[in-house]
Amino acid sequence: MAVDLPAMQQAVAALFIASGLIPSVISANRAALSSLTASTRLDRRGSTDDKSRMLLLAPLLGYRALPRVTDAVAAVARIPSTANDLWEKAAAAPAGTSTPRLLRRVQFEEYMRAAKPLCRPHVAGEEEAADGGALVLSETGLDMAWTALSGGSPYLAFEEAERKLAQWRPDSSATLTLRAFEKALIRGRANILVGYLVLFGLQASVLIVLVIGPLLSASSRTL
């Protein structure tokens, strides 16, 4: 049986690409999934209050520990009521430099972990959850606060923070508009999910075009 040399060369080239591409894709996906789920573990310093009400669509948000009102209250209690105050505390610029317009997630997390509650937010209809407990910050609450503020982005713009805080904390008061927080959190988690779906879809397309397609073509020509 005659060997189709071009087909064999095409198959070898596809396998060569796959040998380098597939391990990289697996490694990248593993890191992506790890980053998506790592922040959902509860902090050992505290845990959520099982008696507190779960947030809207809590089972669908992708957290290992179902997010509850107490998680949101404990996190929001540490966030200043205005973007100016948040930037002053979390995005302090070196002397002689201008204040950045973007806040990085790592800066936000460092501030939140070191910060003490600035107030005890009042949540309409959830007085028991807001008034009880020691406002212990959990990893779930920390991730929820960032996701709701940034919309799932690794950076938070000053204008976006200003807009979100105005929705959650009307008149810069100690009142937390829980429904606005819940909606922002749902949108942020949805943005993250869509981003990963697009990433995985692009990876699948590349594998089909560069690896699977040439292999199928080569095999059909050699049969």
DSSP conformation letters of 79-90: S-SSHHHHHHHH
Quick one: which H or E segment has residue 221? helix 213-222
Average pLDDT, stretch 121-143?
74
Distance of CA 209 to the CA centre of its chain: 30
Radius of gyration of the chain (CA): 24
Asked which of 3-12, 67-76, 199-208 is least confident by mean pLDDT, the reply is 3-12
Alpha helices in 39-132 (DSSP H): 69-76, 83-90, 105-114, 127-131
Please give the pLDDT value at position 49.
56
| Region 87-112 average pLDDT | 82
Q: Which pLDDT score, from 0 to 100, does residue 195 have? A: 74
* Sequence ranges of the domains in the chain: 27-203
pLDDT value at position 132?
Answer: 46
Report which of 176, 223, 219, 188 is spatially closest to residue 10, judged by C-alpha positions. Answer: 219
Average pLDDT, the chain: 75
For residue 3, pLDDT over 60 is answered with no
Confidence band, pLDDT 50/70/90 cuts, at residue 163: very high
For residue 129, pLDDT beyond 60: no
Average pLDDT over residues 8-20: 51
What is the secondary structure of 151-209 as a DSSP string? TS-SEEEHHHHHHHHHHHSGGG-SB--HHHHHHHHHHHHHHHHHHHHHHHHHHHHHHII
According to the model, what pLDDT value does residue 2 have?
Answer: 47
Q: Which amino acid is at 43?
A: D
* pLDDT exceeds cutoff 90 at 105: yes
The whole-number pLDDT of residue 62 equals: 85
pLDDT digits (tens, 9 = 90+) for 54-69: 898 888 888 888 899 9
pLDDT above 90: percentage of residues in the chain? 31
